[in-house]
Structure 1
């Protein structure tokens, strides 16, 4: 049995024994790494710096150069001024030539007093009627008469808005006037005693001429005032007041009329629910009834014409079929079904035929069993579809429907189409002279083009300023410059009374403005936001940028720790 002393000795020996050996990895982990030489530190820093130098001085410049968006300089302030109406204030000096077979001094006195009376009646300062003596062989001195401003108007001057012929008569009520329906000429009949040697302001001829001229151009003044009231920076106090009835009528005309275009395509279509008539003498009918009207509109727009015949054309299923009225002894269509009369799903009426907007004129010949076919509410046979065209129903009576329609048979339809064409082009309803109404439309179109083109310039300036990421090629800047130049020419021509030239310049300006605004390279970038660019570049730049950034941060942290 061991003694207690021996046990104590054994424990003492065990405590003095060395610890067991540890693994080699643990020993190496506690051993500090050898100190890095300064040469290796600078070598690593130079390597990182070289990568950053390649990125900063080579990669980024190349990336910016290859992805740079070229933006041509635009005259933004000038474009904005046009859009805000600060450049051009429309002014309409209408020149009126007066042919007076009286001594020159009497004619000058008569025109001076008439002008004074006319100015007192005018409530539209921007619309001025300027009376001048016409150069005519019927005048007293035969060659040329000069008025107070030192000018005279030739009888064949294209810029003359109206010609007044004073005609002395011995019989009938005087003074009286007669406006030529197919000429810009107003004949005023007077008796010799109404033009004394020294005309006075209370002369009946002076007041009659002033009132007659004021009434002739009242419709034009109302339309121009309504048009200018929609333009920016317009002083409405200088516009003539319009009644609620006038405003409603002007709004209705605007809703019905087509938007202006340099070229229109007219399509004349013959539709019938049977196999007859299968032909029509449309070319001769157009030459006889429609072409003279189109020739009158040639100064405003150009026209192309197309014709077609469609057999077995059925009604649209969306309308109520014609019903027979014993009271009217005719087949009737309800007024609410007229808008759906044209079977757009089956009738070949494409709106994109030709160079410009298509204006459709439909001639419908009902079958013999449903003839005559009229509108129930007003017994009419034609109606207008706003901003689209017109429809006319040709009832041939109880006789057998012919295989072909002659020019005489087409006459009612051609007259209806001519009236519808006049309404669709926005021709004013007054005065009774067609050339005067067309010249009024010319001034309205020129003014509306100046306003709309100026608005397009303003929209282009806003797009340029707000969308910095879209490219702007040089041709956009060139078109903008041409637009501004033509707008200025149009405005100057308007102020000089050269309305045909003003319309031509305004039309050119509109074409250039739309060409600039709808530039293909610009439109393609409008809907490409910056988020898309990040989504494209991130997969390429991320794997390269992360190691470079982490290495730079690690080296910066080590340098701060050493310091």
Structure 2
């Protein structure tokens, strides 16, 4: 019944043309309690975001940046903290002279050395060691502990009188760091003479002895040797070529000795005895500079590279020859098992190739040499052993038959490690290499510190873990120690500290966590946050803006009513 009445009323309303239209009613006004509740909800959300969410986000996403001494690092890189100097202590022994003559010879020779020296960073300091008073002072200092660390003795010069000698002459011992100066008795220094000929001769000999080392150090410090006016172009080119051929310094090198032959013989070699006899003494001398590991291998039926031209038989020389321009393609890297690097250090490859009897003897055409160096890689030696009665290669290579090859490998190793070519004394050349390596490592570690400082300043978003700060601190400490030892002529200690500084500097610069953040720019972070914060942030911001508008409107209405 009620439904029928409702339908009738609706029909009547439609039939009545003058019936008034229904008016949309406004929502009832919000009560103060509802407004207060909405305010508390919005305030609660924002309070959680500001006082709980934001601190948690800040803590969990903040980047830890340990403190680095940026200014100190930059000063090391710019060369303001340490300028490498090389004061070489040379002991002067004059057993055939009286003490006044010896002291006068020392003074005049030192004066002549200072006049000849044009490279202030590298200077020679003479010290008279047969002076009894000086020796007593040194002994008292050692006993009291005031001179616990002495400078390295670079050279010992013995000045000896020799009859029937027209002019002074010198003799450098090849196996030691001793230089003998022989002079005629009538050229003994007189205390009244200001520039004795013997002093000039000794100064010139010492200057010539260390001339290549000075040029090399000048090249290391400045990148060129042009600051030495009297250097010859040939020596400058020789030093540049030596740097191009030598390996970059490493704390440990891996030496790989390989025997290759195109046939089935020789199939064995007395390699262990050869290494101990011919190479181990040299490696022991290098112990203060670098460490070495060794492995060996034998490869039979090792053919030439398909890209390499075959040897050509020269009837005039009765030998098979390889042209010099074809030596670079001699090694068959595709089939010969030559690993470019084993372990942490770089690998130096030394190949002993025994040609087949049908291509023996095998030499280089241009200079008839049987060996050559592959720059920054290793060396090759062509061994042409005497053939057996049946015109075949011997099945075994003895230690004596390996001697020429390993003597050549020793020379190639010295070249590849950047050892100076002069003087003739190997200990003096290794001493020079110690000083060169100490200088290069000090500059390399300092440059790495500068690069790290500039990197951290230009990229404030990358983290700096505590391990990096510790490595930087150790680097700067060892750099300072190396510089101090170098200034006092203790080059072995300087090299030891410089090696540690280089290792720590590389470790800090190539920290994995830092390198990863370098390739994660801020645009990536925005792309990650926007999809997450957009749906949540928009309603909260809109609600906050509406609530702020309501509060502002309420305040204005109260002021109007009050007025």
User: Which of 46, 62, 67 is 1:68 aligned to?
Assistant: 62
Question: Does 2:411 align with 1:419?
Answer: yes
Taking a change above 3 Å as real, the CA distance of residues 447 and 182 of structure 1, as seen in their structure-2 partners, is same
**Contact 1:386–1:424 (CA<8 Å) still a contact in 2?**
yes
The residue that corresponds to 1:6 in the other structure is: none
Q: Which residue of 1 aligns with 2:157?
A: 164
SS at the partner of 1:331?
strand
Task: Answer whether contact 1:133 1:145 (CA < 8 A) is retained.
Answer: no
- Deviation larger for 339-348 or 381-390: 339-348
**Unaligned stretches of 5+ residues in structure 1:** 1-16
CA distance in structure 2 between the partners assigned to 1:320 and 1:22 by the alignment: 111
Q: Secondary structure at the match of 2:287?
A: helix
Q: Corresponding residue for 1:100?
A: 94
The answer for the alignment partner of 1:266 in structure 2 is 255
What residue is the counterpart of 1:366 in the other structure?
355
Select between 469-478 and 104-113 the one with higher mean Cα deviation: 469-478
Instruction: Give TM-score scaled by structure 1 length.
Output: 0.89
Number of aligned pairs?
529
Picking from 255, 268, 289, the partner of 1:300 is 289
- Pair 1:36 & 2:30 matched: yes
2:331 to 342, 363, 366: 342
Summarize the alignment of residues 39-58 of structure 1 with structure 2, pairs less than 5 Å apart: 39-58=33-52
Q: How do residues 182-261 of structure 1 correspond to structure 2 at under 5 angstroms?
A: 182-198=175-191, 200-230=193-223, 242-261=231-250
- Change in Cα spacing, 1:145 to 1:175, as seen in structure 2 (3 Å) is farther
Show the counterpart of 1:486: 478
Alignment of 1:542 with 2:528, yes or no, is no
- Aligned alpha-carbon RMSD (Å): 2.4
Q: State the Cα distance separating 1:515 from its structure 2 match.
A: 1.5
> Superposed, which structure 2 residues align to 1:315-464 within 5 Å?
315-399=304-388, 400-464=392-456
- 1:46 CA drift (Å): 2.1
Q: CA deviation at 1:481?
A: 0.8
Q: Residue 515 of structure 2 is aligned with which of 500, 519, 523?
A: 523
| Structure 2 unaligned blocks of 5 or more | 1-14, 557-563
Q: Deviations over 1:340-390 (max 9, x none)?
A: 211112111112224421111000111111111122222211110111100
Task: After superposing the two structures, state which structure 1 stretch, 164-173 or 274-283, moved more.
Answer: 164-173
Give secondary structure in 2 for the equivalent of 1:345: coil
Query: For each residue in 1:153-206, what CA deviation from the matched residue of structure 2 results, as whole angstroms up to 9, or x when unmatched?
Result: x9xx87110100111111233311001111110000012221144252342211
Query: Which one of 463, 469, 490 corresponds to residue 477 of structure 1?
Result: 469
- Name the SS for the 2:129 alignment partner: strand
1:531 CA drift (Å): 1.8
Contact 1:268-1:363 within 8 A present in 2 as well = yes
- Please, which moves more after superposition, 267-276 or 552-561? 552-561
CA distance in structure 2 between the partners assigned to 1:517 and 1:363 by the alignment: 39
| Partners of 2:101 and 2:190 within 8 A in 1 | yes
Q: Secondary structure at the match of 1:409?
A: coil
Match for residue 80 of structure 1 among 71, 74, 77:
74
* Corresponding position of 1:174: 167
SS where residue 35 of structure 1 aligns? coil
Q: Is the 8 A contact 2:218 2:227 kept in 1?
A: no
Q: Distance in 2 between matches of 1:554 and 1:241?
A: 85
Contact 1:164/1:188 (CA < 8 Å) preserved in 2? yes
CA gap of 1:490–1:142, structure 2 versus 1, over 3 A, is closer
Change (3 A) 1:199 1:416: farther
Quote how far apart the aligned CAs of 1:146 are: 7.4
